[in-house]
Amino acid sequence: SQKIEQNSEALNIQEGKTATLTCNYTNYSPAYLQWYRQDPGRGPVFLLLIRENEKEKRKERLKVTFDTTLKQSLFHITASQPADSATYLCALPNTGNQFYFGTGTSLTVIP
Amino acid sequence: EADIYQTPRYLVIGTGKKITLECSQTMGHDKMYWYQQDPGMELHLIHYSYGVNSTEKGDLSSESTVSRIRTEHFPLTLESARPSHTSQYLCASSEYRGLSSGNTEAFFGQGTRLTVV
């Protein structure tokens, strides 16, 4: 099965800086990768999807890259705000097209 | 706001009771999922469904069962609850576009926090 690893350490950054989160995966290469945001006690909320033939995807202050050679995705939040504080999850489909999620990275943006 | 609803939001029950966690979606999605998540831990897929009359077990072994009699409804049942079942249960749905295109994004419910005492 797919193994997905994200920054295990919580990430604390100053407001206005760029946060960069990492998602590494092993085994087969997925056709696409997704990023979600999860607030405490709530279900994840979809943010971005990037396909294997796309190197980069942007949405407002969010940017995702997908390096199929390195088997890695980077998730960037530019001009970070305290409201961006949450846990961010990457998700990949397995060979049966079920979603599997990484452990998540907790981000705190300090005012 | 996603149109997927879970009830109850919180549930505290005694050991040995039978419980059903409800999940409904109004988006007409074929695929539905149940995940289990302990505080601060990753989501584990316990059940999924491709559509009506389809149910499959996920990677994490679970003593729960599911049914899919209607597209919009995907309830999860525990016949005899135990303290080890204490966890958050998250239901999700997605549109399935076939093997080549895969799934669209998953929409999650608010979750049911289950405590078995």
pLDDT attached to residue B103: 66
Q: Is the pLDDT of residue B1 over 60?
A: no
How many angstroms separate the CA atoms of A80 and B90, rounded? Answer: 28
pLDDT attached to residue B101: 63
pLDDT attached to residue A25: 92
How many angstroms separate the CA atoms of B89 and B32, rounded? Answer: 13
Cβ atoms of B44 and B108 closer than 8 Å = no
Q: Is the pLDDT of residue B2 over 70?
A: no
Question: What one-character DSSP code corresponds to residue B30?
Answer: S
How many angstroms separate the CA atoms of B31 and A45, rounded? Answer: 17
Q: For the segment B41-52, what is each residue's pLDDT rounded down to a tens digit? A: 889 999 999 999
Name which of A42-46, A72-76, B59-63, B71-75 the model is least confident about. Answer: B59-63
Phi then psi dihedrals of residue B17, to 5 deg: -75, 150
Q: Is the pLDDT of residue A111 over 80?
A: yes
Count the residues in chain A: 111
The SS3 assignment for B12 reads strand
Q: Which of B45, B103, B110 sits opposite A42 (nearest CB)?
A: B110
CB pairs under 8 A between A and B: 56
Question: What one-character DSSP code corresponds to residue A18?
Answer: P
Closest C-alpha among A83, A105, A84, A101 to residue A92: A101
How many angstroms separate the CA atoms of B96 and A66, rounded? Answer: 22
Residue with more model confidence, A58 or B104: A58
Taking the CA of residue A38 and the nearest CA in chain B, the distance in Å comes to 10
Q: For the segment B17-42, what is each residue's pLDDT rounded down to a tens digit? A: 999 999 999 999 999 999 999 988 88
Question: What one-character DSSP code corresponds to residue B60?
Answer: S
Q: For the segment A60-70, what is each residue's pLDDT rounded down to a tens digit? A: 999 999 999 99
Q: Which of A46, A93, A103 sits opposite B42 (nearest CB)?
A: A103
B59 vs A: CB within 8 A: yes
Say whether B102 and A93 touch across the interface (CB within 8 A). Answer: yes
pLDDT attached to residue B100: 61
Average pLDDT over residues B89-97: 90
Name which of A37-51, A91-105, B89-103 the model is least confident about. Answer: B89-103
Chain A residues close to B88, C-beta within 8 Å: 41
The SS3 assignment for B90 reads strand
Share of chain B above pLDDT 90, in %: 80
Say whether A91 and B103 touch across the interface (CB within 8 A). Answer: no
Q: For the segment A3-18, what is each residue's pLDDT rounded down to a tens digit? A: 888 987 899 999 999 9
